[in-house]
Every structure is written in C-alpha cells, then in structure tokens.
Amino acid sequence: MVKLQCRKCNFQFDKPKIPRRCPYCGKSNTILPYKTAQNYIDEVET
C-alpha cells in the first residue's frame, strides 16, 4: 500500500496504485505520494 494525498483537497488515503482521480473531491491528476517530515529532511540532506 502507498500512502497518497490529493494536492487539491489534502485528502490522505492508502491505495495499492496511484489513481487518476481523488476519491474525495474527484479532481483529476492531483494525487501524489504523501510526504512526511522525514521525507523532506532526507531531500535536504542529499
């Protein structure tokens, strides 16, 4: 399972694959993998 988040409504959910539309607001192409604080720290360190 991948933790995902909609960029439009910030809805967070788990799915095995990234869907084309947000299951909450229905907007297309707004889904990205959810980033935790640790993900941001790791990006800065590299």
Residue-level pLDDT at 45 = 84
**pLDDT category, 18, cuts 50, 70, 90?**
very high
Residue-level pLDDT at 9 = 98
Give the CATH number for residue 40. 2.20.28
User: Mean pLDDT across the stretch 5-14?
Assistant: 97
**DSSP sequence for the chain:** -EEEEETTT--EEEESS--SB-TTT--BS-EEE---HHHHHHHHH-
As for how many domains the chain has, the answer is 1
Pairwise pLDDT comparison (46 vs 17), residue with the higher score: 17
- Up-side HSE of residue 45: CA atoms within 13 Å toward CB? 6
CA atoms of 46 and 30, how far apart (whole Å): 26
Cβ atoms 12, 5 nearer than 8 A: yes
Structural domain span for residue 24: 2-45
pTM over 0.85: no
CA atoms of 28 and 14, how far apart (whole Å): 17
